[in-house]
Structure 1
């Protein structure tokens, strides 16, 4: 399948088609807030994002920044050819539980050490996720955990017709 035509970029935006493969990890100067069950379960400015071709950024937040009890071990695991072995976590907030709604890399592969002791969340499973005060749109598809904000343009992996990108 051919690479799609990237969406036009306006001032202040970046294209996921300019992101690298293998993915790049970078610290960002933005505050991230996540709400589940009406409760803010994390609100932090200690934010790392992973950028990979065709995917909106995935935000990784310090485990220690979550309210007590918000993260518990979940079922299953997966493997990323770049980042290594991931474990899933259940997310709790406001009396609600979202099974396997988060993941982390307890022993990330070389080059991805910045992900140690951090967690990524599926924004579709949360009530609200914000980056820099802006509400996030979840990346399409149940497997992907990208966070779409107005400053990121696609098209994005996970949308209909994107299989094979």
Structure 2
């Protein structure tokens, strides 16, 4: 049975009504860290990479002017064995400190039978980061993982997110997030 796009738009509208609309232009600078009880899921090719329903630890989100929220997921919510160090490469955030990057390793199977041994491993390089020793204001997210929305399928409370424009920032845009978002060409100096 085919479902019209109007049904999907209506479902997205209903989810947005369940959340208060937020305008990224009203987010603070310097950024604010806050705990969240939103259900966060990260999938790759339908396989669960992370799911906050699988932990009792709280997740966090960082809110910064002109950025959709960036979510930080506790390690206990991540499928064991899928995240591995990328062996080098760090970036520096003036607010949070030094970020380390990670690869996602996902076993690939040659048949429909996922019980069969993996025939290879797919590696998604450097699309996950963490602050292993963040600045004092961001200590609660030490060792928590943040995922770029692409190439993953990321969800907040069941809604598939849009990746923040560009390839540098890792915010997750949902239907209840509004306002001009940094990351697209021409927005680097906002």
The TM-score with structure 2 as length reference comes to 0.77
- Tell me how far 1:33 sits from its aligned partner: 0.7
Which has a greater percent of helix?
A: 2
More strand by share: 1
8 Å CA contact 1:35–1:93 kept in 2: the answer is no
Displacement of 1:79 after TM fit?
0.7
Structure 1 residue aligned with 2:183: 158
What are the within-5 Å matches in structure 2 for residues 11-30 of structure 1? 12-30=20-38
Residue pairs, 1:1-165, within 5 angstroms: 12-45=20-53, 46-74=58-86, 75-95=88-108, 96-126=122-152, 128-165=153-190
Task: Give 5+ residue unaligned stretches, structure 1.
Answer: 1-9
- Residue 161 (structure 1) shift: 2.5
Measure the CA separation in 2 of the matches of 1:114 and 1:38.
30
Q: What is the CA-CA distance between 1:41 and the residue it aligns to?
A: 1.1
- C-alpha separation between the residues in 2 aligned to 1:53 and 1:136? 19
Could you list the runs of 4 or more consecutive aligned residues of structure 1 that deviate by over 6 angstroms after TM superposition? none
**CA distance in structure 1 between the partners assigned to 2:168 and 2:29 by the alignment:** 18
User: What is the number of equivalent residue pairs in this alignment?
Assistant: 155
Q: 1:154 Cα deviation (Å)?
A: 2.0
In the alignment, structure 2 segments of 5+ residues that lack a partner are 1-15, 109-121
Larger Rg: 2
In structure 2, C-alpha distance between the alignment counterparts of 1:60 and 1:147, rounded to whole Å: 11
> What TM-score, normalized to structure 1?
0.89
Listed one character per residue, the Cα deviations across residues 88-130 of structure 1 (whole Å, up to 9, x for unaligned) are: 000123533210010000011011011112010101121x110
Please, what is the CA RMSD of the aligned residues? 1.5
CA distance in 2: counterparts of 1:92 and 1:13, whole angstroms: 35
- In structure 2, C-alpha distance between the alignment counterparts of 1:32 and 1:93, rounded to whole Å: 19
RCO comparison, higher one (Cα < 8 Å, 6+): 1
Say whether the 8 Å CA contact 1:38–1:94 is kept in structure 2: no
